[in-house]
Amino acid sequence: MNWRAQAMGMFLLGLVRALTGAQARWYGCPPKAEQRIYFANHQSHADLVLIWAALPTELRSITRPIAAKDYWTASNFKRWITTAVFNAVYVERERKGDEDPLQPLIDALGSGDSLIIFPEGTRGHGEEPQPFKSGLYNLARRFPDVVLVPTWIHNVQRVIPKGEVIPVPVLCSVTFGEPVKLGADEDRADFLRRSREAVVALRDI
């Protein structure tokens, strides 16, 4: 990592902490350097920054967030910050041709990285997260040894709502729950419903 990215990382970390506290609450599992997929509710583009800031330094360097390609590569600055600072994995939100949109995630998991994903696929509007898309299930099938950690991000949409530029200070927290396991013959719909419930359950802890 070059010094500019490092300085930017420090600055962002300081900013996020001053504005939100970026408190991590490890409820169902300890922070541990095993290969994991953190799957979280998605309400704001700042979600990615908040989870990144809430993770301890040791885990931050081995955990890569997923970034929507159309939004995060729209300008040179956004592209630089997601690549150099967050070390993000880009995904297409729309399926293009016969390319598997999960391929970049499969590559990243194959090389041993942990991932942060938002299985709703798009930012939600209401209180409840939208139904999960099947990407989480496919990854879980393909990599049975990766630990799946449900994650609830609290309050971020208040920091910077859609369409606003200036963030305001509101305390936010990231709650990590008990890992979810995919049953040997569990079907797709059941698993997705169960993992979504695991995320929602963390809201009221």
Partner 1 sequence: MTSFLRSLSPEQQVSLVFVVLFGLLMLASGVSVLLSLRERRRGEVDDVRHERLQDYQALLRSSWLMALVFWVGWAAGEGFAIVLFGFVSFFTLREFISLSPTRRGDHRSLVLAFFIVLPLQYALVWNREFNLFTVFIPVYVFLAIPVVSALGNDPQRFLERNAKLQWGIMVCVYGMSHVPALLLLQFPRFEGKMAFLVFFLVLVVQTCMLVQHVVARRLDRPVAPAISQSFQWRSWGAGLLAGGLLGAALAGFTPFKPLPALAMALIACAAGSLGHLVMKAIKRDRGITHWGSAGRSVTGASGLLDRVDALCFAAPVFFHSVRWNFNL
Q: Which residues bind partner 1 (CB under 8 A)?
A: 19, 21, 23, 25-27, 154-155, 158, 161, 164, 166, 168-171, 173, 205
Which CB sits closer to partner 1, 19 or 149?
Answer: 19
Which CB sits closer to partner 1, 7 or 205?
Answer: 205
Give the separation between CA 65 and CA 81, rounded to whole angstroms: 12
Which CB sits closer to partner 1, 20 or 87?
Answer: 20
Give the separation between CA 199 and CA 108, rounded to whole angstroms: 23
Main-chain phi, psi angles of 115, to 5 degrees: -130, 150
Which CB sits closer to partner 1, 11 or 27?
Answer: 27
Integer Rg of the chain from CA: 16
Q: Amino acid identity of 71?
A: Y
86, exposed or middle or buried, with CB in 10 Å at 0-12, 13-18, 19+? buried
Count of other CB atoms within 10 angstroms of residue 91: 20
